[in-house]
Structure 1
Amino acid sequence: MTLAGFPRIAVDPLVCGGRPIVAGTRVRVTDVLEMLAGGASPGEIVGDFPYLSEEDVRAVLAYAARQADHPVVLAAE
């Protein structure tokens, strides 16, 4: 099932243990993020995984950015 607002990202309990993946593949969001963190460019990732597109890589980044955002909680005084 793709995620609301992220049609290129899917979660399926039967694929990769239910971890978020690029829809239609077995490539985990974390796999793409780790490649980017390691210095790979979107073009290099697509070259190594031709069933991905640069739009998929951008979708992974957008999904990760949304996951990293959280409300600010202030302590009561």
Structure 2
Amino acid sequence: MKHPRITVNPQKMGGVPCIRNLRIPVATVVGMFAEGMKEQEILAAFPNLEIRDIQEALDYVKDSGELNC
């Protein structure tokens, strides 16, 4: 699996791609980044996240072409 930190489970969050089953949608993290938040600000908002989670969320969106997040 190319993005092991990204999970898609139809039983959680309606199958929306999330970070490590944490119920934190990839789109939320990518949206925060797109709005200009720094990685440390995102980590402060979601203490369960790790820097690698943010990087993988960005890579996931780039690779999947889901730029409407």
Structure 2 residue runs without a partner (length 5+)? none
Letter in 2 for 1:7: P
Letter in 2 for 1:57: I
The alignment covers a number of residue pairs equal to: 66
Please state how far the C-alpha of 1:37 moved relative to its aligned partner. 1.0
RMSD in angstroms over aligned alpha carbons?
Answer: 1.3
Does 1 or 2 have the higher relative contact order (CA < 8 Å, sep 6+)? 2
Structure 1 residue runs without a partner (length 5+)? 70-77
57, 63, 66: which one aligns with 2:60: 63
Matched with 1:35 is 32
TM-score normalised by structure 2 residue count: 0.89
TM-score normalised by structure 1 residue count: 0.80
**Larger strand proportion of the pair:** 1
* Distance in 2, Cα, partners of 1:25 & 1:51: 8
Instruction: Write out the 4+ residue segments of structure 1 that deviate beyond 4 Å after TM superposition.
Output: none
Please give the residue correspondences for 1:5-20 in structure 2 after superposition, counting only pairs within 5 Å. 5-20=2-17
Deviations 1:12-43 (CA, angstroms, capped at 9, x unpaired): 00111101000130000100111011111111
**Same amino acid, percent of matched pairs:** 33
